[in-house]
Amino acid sequence: MKCADAETGGRIDRQFISGITKLIILGKIRKTGTHPYEIYKEIKDHPFAPIRGISKSDVYNTIKALETMGLISGKPGLVGSKMQKKYHLTKQGAEVSGRAKKILSAHLNGIKRLIAYEFK
């Protein structure tokens, strides 16, 4: 996954971006249940700069990883005239995404203060 930061031209830690990408994709699947190309179309212009411009293969690979982790499951179905997997959260995926939302919400202000203090 290419992780160029538009503001600084530098690279952001791949693990951090990978984790955020997983959370964003879990959130998209949590909201609607969908297939990978629809997720790609929704997040390729995401406001979180490091994933802006994400490739289709990055989305598909992340979905495969989430499925391997047991957080999502896909069922084949017709989308228009094509057979495609539509993904939904598993019970474990719903629990993980719910906990992640609570953790991120609880720590967001602390992270902002940490950044302001450490990167004066």
CATH code at 20?
1.10.10.10
Domain count of the chain? 1
Q: What is the mean pLDDT of residues 76-82?
A: 82
The pLDDT value given to residue 9: 44
Residue 6 binned pLDDT confidence (cut-offs 50, 70, 90) = very low
The pTM of this model reads: 0.75
Residue 28 contacts residue 34 (beta carbons within 8 Å): yes
* Structure tokens belonging to residue 7: 């503001």
**Looking at the predicted structure, is the pLDDT value of residue 66 above 90?**
yes
In a domain, 5, yes or no: no
3-state secondary structure of 100: helix
Q: Where are the alpha helices (DSSP H) in 1-120?
A: 14-32, 36-43, 56-68, 91-118
Task: Give the range of the structural domain holding residue 78, as residue numbers without chain letter.
Answer: 14-118
Percentage with pLDDT > 70 across the chain:
88
